[in-house]
Amino acid sequence: MRDSITQLSSYQALASHFEETKSHNMRDMFAQDTNRFSTFSVQFDGLLLDYSKNRINSVTIEKLVALFDECDVHACREKMFSGEKINSTEDRAVQHTALRNLENQNSALTKKQVAILLLIEAFVEKVDRSNITDIVNIGIGGSHLGPLFVCDALQEISKPNLSVHFVANVDAEEINRVLNKLNPENTLFIVTSKSFTTQETLTNAKTARNWLLKSENLKNEDHFVAVTANVENARKFGIAEENIFPMWDEIGGRYSLWSAVGLSIVLSVGMGAFKNLLKGAHAMDEHFINAPTDKNIPVLMALLEVWNQIFLEAQAHVILPYDVRLKLLPAYLQQLVMESNGKSVDREGNVLNVPSSPIVFGDVGTNAQHSFFQLLHQGTHQLSCDFIGVAKPGHDNHVQHDMLLANMIGQTQALMQGQTLEAIGPAKYAEHKVFPGNRVSNTIFLTELNPYSIGLLIAMYEHKTFVHGALLNINSFDQMGVELGKRTANNLLDKIKNNGLVTDEDSSTIGLIDFYKQNK
């Protein structure tokens, strides 16, 4: 049993340090130290983290490292990589990292992964030789967001004769919009659900099956594959056993794109690209294991999250990719971060007395500049930001790429520097043109965007999320809140279907159900 983070001596030292430095301004920090960028930046394998635009100094980092040590995150990390059951509430190991270490002959799960990748490769080759032109991935949560993000990011290298579509929402409008564009004869469905009982996924799968079987001479087993741990349920649905790819208990949904859940990725860009995705993620795993704490990118990002959230009261974290290929990254990270660390108790069930997950949102730059950047610059809320850029564009229009990255770098500088009343001088509405500055951000630069660097980027955020959870002593690998919502919805569905009056719920629920029944 571990003490609350606020009871640790390293935390109390940080709190005292914050009181001593809270009036410091980054404008002055940069003016006084021309080497600030080199001091507070790290490069690894074509990825740069510039964290110099945080309200920190070298003493801050020393004290954050001491917190990391006192929280014994080293041991937590070792337990995860060695396969101990660190997901205590579900009595499971957490082994997504084993899926990308394909050379590890000592891991039973890695051996299974290698075998499954061979089966997937053979299946994909079979699809490539067929008349299939459209893939529809049916899943939700981790079975949807990860593959969707990667497929969209890698569009430029996708197979020209194959389109991949994604359906998640139980709203029939979504699947109807997809099916209306397709020919059943040329369509393959991937149904991804660990339990093969997920309401949204199974409902959409049945809609897809009904659509398919309206066509004469088409068989369910020729147009459906499954990724699931429940082989029996997939068989009952009508999916041939050779078209059922396994999921494992040790792999959580939001960490599953590295597994057979990535089938849609392999179909879209090929096994070579998928293995490069795994290699990039494994390289970040090795960095996370071996790099010193003060040079360890995911660790530094998690420690800064604690500093910014608890002491600077930055309760929201903004993800700002300045590359359209990364436009779905904010949505992917919303699940990764908030489903992992959006908890209110620690591992022992004690109520947390510090914030847990930040509120994560974001959008692609430069669009976001014309949306919510007004709040970032002049609003009363404290937020932290990650700006993400790619040095080499995926096109040859360097004029626009220069403009894009000038905007990205300029925004980080403007947030840091702000604009004082003195700098504005005498002007109408001068007070309205003041920007307080001192707003914190990280900048993450990739040399180029390819499967390998996307693997690096995703694994970096996975490990950051893990470290943040370990610092707060919470279980980052369950999702009790998701389960409660499912149970409540299922209970109300029966009452909505029933024509009788609902009398045994609260007045708001009764009123909403009654309004819906009267107007549907």
Catalytic residue among 206, 370, 381, 392: 370
Residue 49: closest CA among 342, 377, 302: 302
Contact residues for 467 (Cβ-Cβ < 8 A; gap 6+): 68, 73, 77, 298, 299, 301, 302, 303
CB atoms within 10 A of CB 232: 10
Catalytic residue among 250, 305, 339, 462: 339
To the nearest 10°, report the CA torsion of 189, 191, 192, 198.
150
pLDDT at 498 over 90: no
Catalytic residue among 85, 381, 398, 486: 486
Report the pLDDT value the prediction gives residue 458, as an integer from 0 to 100. 98
Report the pLDDT value the prediction gives residue 482, as an integer from 0 to 100. 87
The percent of residues above 70 in pLDDT, for the chain, comes to 100
For the stretch 329-368, pLDDT in tens is 999 999 999 999 999 999 999 999 999 999 999 999 999 9
Report the pLDDT value the prediction gives residue 336, as an integer from 0 to 100. 98
Domain 5-22+46-71+291-478 bears CATH identifier 3.40.50.1360: no
pLDDT at 17 over 80: yes
pLDDT at 384 over 90: yes
Report the pLDDT value the prediction gives residue 220, as an integer from 0 to 100. 87
Site of tokens 């694994």: 459
Q: Is 185 one of the annotated active-site residues of the chain? A: no
Residue 91 and residue 85 in contact, taking contact as beta carbons nearer than 8 Å: yes
Report the pLDDT value the prediction gives residue 485, as an integer from 0 to 100. 84
Characterize the bridge pairing of strands 187-192 and 134-138: parallel
CA 280 to chain centre: 16
Q: Is the bond preceding residue 366 a cis peptide, omega within 30 degrees? A: yes
Amino acid at 31: A
- Average pLDDT (493-507) is 90
pTM of the model: 0.97
Q: How far lies 340's CA from each of 98, 198, 473, in Å?
A: 19, 19, 12
Distance CA 258, CA 459 (A): 10
Residue 451: closest CA among 328, 323, 274: 274
Domain range summary for the chain, segments of one domain joined by +: 5-22+46-71+291-478, 100-275, 482-519
Q: Is 486 one of the annotated active-site residues of the chain? A: yes
Torsion over CA: 296, 298, 299, 302 (sign): positive
Report the top-level CATH class of 100-275.
alpha beta
Domain 482-519 bears CATH identifier 1.10.1390: yes
Would the CATH topology of 5-22+46-71+291-478 be identical to that of 482-519?
no
For the stretch 88-142, pLDDT in tens is 999 999 999 999 999 998 899 999 999 999 999 999 999 999 999 999 999 999 9
pLDDT at 203 over 80: yes
Residue 151 and residue 264 in contact, taking contact as beta carbons nearer than 8 Å: yes
Angle, in degrees to the nearest 10, between helices 451-472 and 271-290: 40
For the stretch 147-170, pLDDT in tens is 999 999 999 999 999 999 999 999
Q: Is 463 one of the annotated active-site residues of the chain? A: no
Q: Does 491 or 208 have the greater pLDDT score?
A: 208
Amino acid at 233: N
